[in-house]
Amino acid sequence: MNQIFSPTLTSAAAVLQDRYRGGVPDVVELNATLDLLFSHRSVRAYLPEKLPEGIVETLVAAAQSASSSSNLQIWSVVAVEDVARKARLAALAGNQRHILEAPLFLLWILDLHRLTALGEARGEPAGALTYLESFVLGAVDTALAAQNAVVALESLGLGAVYIGGIRNHPAAVAAELGLPPQAFALFGLAVGKPDPTRPARVKPRLPQDVVLFREKYEWGDAQQAGIAAYNERLRAFQSEQGLPVLDWTVQAGARVRGPEAMSGRAGLRDVLQRLGFGLR
Ligand SMILES: Cc1cc2nc3c(=O)[nH]c(=O)nc-3n(C[C@H](O)[C@H](O)[C@H](O)COP(=O)(O)O)c2cc1C
């Protein structure tokens, strides 16, 4: 495909370079939406500024505009701005400082409770919700919605970081948020105005040969070579950012080594069952 670089979109081209650092894919065109998507970075340093009036409603409108499996709309969101509640949630999520700094903390709830309650009110069973499939469906829909909100907030000059750490103590988080049974805080999202004195950079991703296959999946020399190249590129990024320099394969390997690397989340199935999820 031809690359079409508009003079006004040179930043998108530069940002693609940062995303891949070599092996930049041949994209069909660059436009403002692609520029925004390619420019994503997690933001963990915010200005101590209140966010504009109506921001939560705007982000939720973007989230609700995402596709929804069978239009079940099986998620909810809890917007937390109260400093004390944010501090308690930050403590439950591994004491992540950026949660305290962010003026807004959104908790994305996989919510099977609403349809269960509606079934009960109508005197009809909602037995499908007790199956693992419904949990997966809910997790997919919740993530699609949240990502729409992230794109929206980035388009408004805000920044955010997802917080999976909120799953370290799901029962305590559910109690803090007053969640009913069959409602689970899947992840958090810390939102704020990025502090320009502590900027975040675009983090390189795996080369496309490693993740993109045509017609059939492949796992061979090309993928191994791509991963080796990525280790080098990520090390360069880490060194520029003053981060510990570590191969991606080592980093990712440590994160998936075993239950001890899961920050207490290895017991999630039991906790979810106690929170009312069937997972059959
Ligand atoms: C579901 C999810 C959970 C995450 N949880 C955390 C978290 O608890 N703390 C954190 O600092 N970053 C968290 N992140 C951010 C990732 O570390 C980040 O997206 C990744 O390193 C890539 O960096 P980038 O977003 O800047 O491109 C999470 C990301 C996702 C998608």
pLDDT in tens, the chain (280 residues): 334 344 445 677 889 999 999 889 989 888 999 999 999 999 999 999 999 999 999 999 999 999 999 999 999 999 999 999 999 999 999 999 999 999 999 999 999 999 999 999 999 999 999 999 999 999 999 999 999 999 999 999 999 999 999 999 999 999 999 999 999 999 999 999 999 999 999 999 999 999 999 999 999 999 999 999 999 999 999 999 999 999 999 999 999 999 999 999 999 999 999 999 999 9
Rounded CA-CA distance 203/237 in Å is 7
* DSSP letters spanning 144-176: HHHHHHHHHHHHTT-EEEEEGGGGSSHHHHHHH
For the entire predicted model, the pTM comes to 0.96
Give the pLDDT confidence score for residue 12 in this predicted structure: 79
Instruction: Decide: 41 in ligand 1 pocket, CB within 6 A.
Output: yes
Distance 143 CA to ligand 1 centre (A): 13
Rounded CA-CA distance 70/279 in Å is 19
Rounded CA-CA distance 79/100 in Å is 14
Ligand 1 atom closest to residue 98's alpha carbon, by position in its atom list: 11
Give the pLDDT confidence score for residue 280 in this predicted structure: 97
Give the pLDDT confidence score for residue 29 in this predicted structure: 87
Rounded CA-CA distance 49/179 in Å is 29
Instruction: Decide: 164 in ligand 1 pocket, CB within 6 A.
Output: yes
Rounded CA-CA distance 137/126 in Å is 15
Give the pLDDT confidence score for residue 13 in this predicted structure: 84
Rounded CA-CA distance 72/115 in Å is 8
Distance 118 CA to ligand 1 centre (A): 34
Instruction: Decide: 96 in ligand 1 pocket, CB within 6 A.
Output: yes
Within the chain, residue ranges assigned H as helices are 10-20, 32-38, 55-64, 83-92, 97-101, 113-122, 132-155, 170-177, 208-211, 221-240, 248-256, 268-274
Query: Which tokens belong to 89?
Result: 């949630």
Sheet holding 183-192, edge to edge: 75-80, 104-111, 183-192, 159-163
Instruction: Decide: 163 in ligand 1 pocket, CB within 6 A.
Output: yes
Distance 42 CA to ligand 1 centre (A): 7
Return the DSSP state at 138: H
Pocket test for ligand 1, best of 19, 107, 161, 202 (most atoms within 8 A of CB): 161
Rounded CA-CA distance 258/256 in Å is 6
Rounded CA-CA distance 213/79 in Å is 39
Under 8 Å CB-to-CB from 216, ≥6 apart: which residues? Answer: none
* Cβ 99 vs Cβ 82: under 8 Å: no
Give the pLDDT confidence score for residue 3 in this predicted structure: 41
Rounded CA-CA distance 54/153 in Å is 12
* Cβ 189 vs Cβ 99: under 8 Å: no
* Cβ 182 vs Cβ 275: under 8 Å: yes
Instruction: Decide: 162 in ligand 1 pocket, CB within 6 A.
Output: yes
Under 8 Å CB-to-CB from 4, ≥6 apart: which residues? Answer: 28, 29, 30
